[in-house]
Amino acid sequence: MIEVNPKAPTVHFNYRHFQITKEDGTVVAWWFGGGQDLTPIYLFEEDAHHVHSLLKGACDKHSPEYYPKFKKWADEYFYHTARKEARGVGGIFFDDLDSGSKEDIFSFVKDCAGTFEASYFPILQKRSEEKYGEAERKWQALRHGRYVEFNLVYDRGTKFGFSVPGVNIEAVLMSLPLTVGFMYKHLPKFGSEEDKLLKTLTGKPKDWATATINEKE
């Protein structure tokens, strides 16, 4: 979901189950994949904490190893190598999850997916009421440009879609923002809110779930 108001973050949400069967219905292989992550245009630390704490709670119900493992996977996957920037403040991501019973893994996936409404929509409602102007819209377009770069160059799903014969290319590209911008070697003003976001995205991944948020936005 990509929002109009620059103060409202973009969110990626995608959980999936794959199963390969023979003509007689025999299951040859199955696995689960997916996850969700938050990509703010303007950083509100309490939003990142809120999303990650709910995801951690869902993961911890099934294994204390899940959240740190899948958060790290998301931090590494949603990373723009050429820019040396994270796409956003992360979340969780996993693929080829097939160890254990299908029922147990499906329960885990459902619990993670079940956090989405409580994690994102309160943020969306709150941030959509924030005021913004032309300067914020220009910054949003630049950040959307980064989002497009990541999706076209690094995203496995997009690259897989391009490789499928006869694919509906419109469906593959439907998650891209409508308005993007590119500026040569653009850097935000030092100390600005834009600079705050960029420093976070180019720094080490933060443990948002357990971070102490000193100031509520």
3-class secondary structure, 28: strand
Catalytic residue among 12, 50, 52, 144: 12
**Measured over all CA atoms, what is the biggest interatomic distance in the chain, rounded to whole angstroms?**
64
SS (H, E, C) 120-170: HHHHHHHHCCCCCCHHHHHHHHHHHHHHHHHHHHCCHHHHHHHHCCCCCHH
Output the six-digit token pair for 78: 């949603």
Q: Is 12 a catalytic residue?
A: yes
3-class secondary structure, 66: helix
Distance separating alpha carbons of residues 156 and 151, to the nearest angstrom: 8
Which residues are part of the catalytic machinery?
12
